[in-house]
Amino acid sequence: MTRLGRRTLLGTIGAGPLVATAGCLEFFESDDPTRRFGPDELEPILAMDVPTVARPAPVQPGENAVTDAVGRLEELIAAVPDPLGADDVPNEAVRHDIDRAREIARHRRDALAGAMDGFHRMRRSIHARRYAGEAAVAFEAVTDDRSLNDVETEREAVTARLEQRRSGITHRGTDLQRTLLLGAHRESELATAGRWLGNRPRHGTNGALVVGELGGAVEQARAAMAFSDELERRHEARLTDARSFESQFETALERSLDAIDAAAVPDRSTDLFESVDADISGTIAERVLHEGAIALSRASEQTVNKAADGETAAALRTACAFERDRRAFERIRKQVEDGTHRTLETVDDVRDVRESAVEIAADVPFSPDEPSLGGDLLADGYNRLEQLDGQIRDLLHRDWETSLEHEYALYVVIGAQLEAVPDGVSAFDGRLEE
- Residue at 363 is within a domain: yes
pLDDT of 202 reads 86
Residue 3 lies in a domain: no
State the pLDDT at residue 56: 97
State whether 213 and 252 are in the same domain: no
pLDDT at position 280, please? 87
- In DSSP terms, 37 is beta-bridged to 402
Predicted local distance difference test score (pLDDT) of residue 30: 47
195 and 277 together in one domain: no
pLDDT of residue 253: 98
Residue 172 resides in a domain? yes
Same domain assignment for residues 186 and 327: no
pLDDT of residue 364: 98
Beta-carbon neighbour count of residue 155 at 10 Å? 17
Residue 208 lies in a domain: yes
For 170, 247, 365, the CA distances from 229, given in Å and listed in that order, are 12, 23, 33
pLDDT of amino acid 100: 97
- In this structure, the answer to whether residues 185 and 87 fall within a common structural domain is yes
Q: Secondary structure of 59-121 in the HEC alphabet?
A: CCCCHHHHHHHHHHHHHHHHCCCCCCCCCCCCCHHHHHHHHHHHHHHHHHHHHHHHCCCHHHH
What is the CA 104 to chain-centroid distance, rounded? 19
Asked whether residue 17 is domain-assigned, the answer is no
H or E segment to which residue 427 belongs = helix 405-433
**Who contacts 57 (Cβ-Cβ below 8 Å, separation ≥6)?**
117, 119, 120, 371
Residues 109 and 150 in one domain: yes
What pLDDT score does 32 carry? 55
Beta bridge partners of 172: 244
Amino acid occupying residue 81: P
Structurally, how many domains does the chain consist of? 2
Answer yes or no: do 50 and 126 share one domain: no
Is the N-terminal amide bond of 56 cis, ω within 30° of 0? no
Q: Which domain holds residue 425?
A: 36-55+245-433
Are residue 148 and residue 96 in the same domain, yes or no? yes
| Same domain for 303 and 373 | yes
Give me the pLDDT at residue 7, please.
Answer: 46
State whether 214 and 328 are in the same domain.
Answer: no
Per-residue pLDDT of the chain (434 residues; tens, 9 = 90+): 444 443 433 333 343 455 443 334 334 444 456 789 999 999 999 999 999 999 999 999 999 999 999 999 999 999 999 999 999 999 999 999 999 999 999 999 999 999 989 999 999 999 999 999 999 999 999 999 999 999 999 999 999 999 999 999 999 999 999 999 999 999 999 999 999 999 988 877 779 999 999 999 999 999 999 999 999 999 999 998 899 999 999 999 999 999 999 998 998 788 887 888 888 888 999 999 999 999 999 999 999 999 999 999 999 999 999 999 999 999 999 999 999 999 999 999 999 999 999 999 999 999 999 999 999 999 999 999 999 999 999 999 988 899 999 999 999 999 999 999 999 999 999 999 86
Residues 256 and 191 in one domain: no
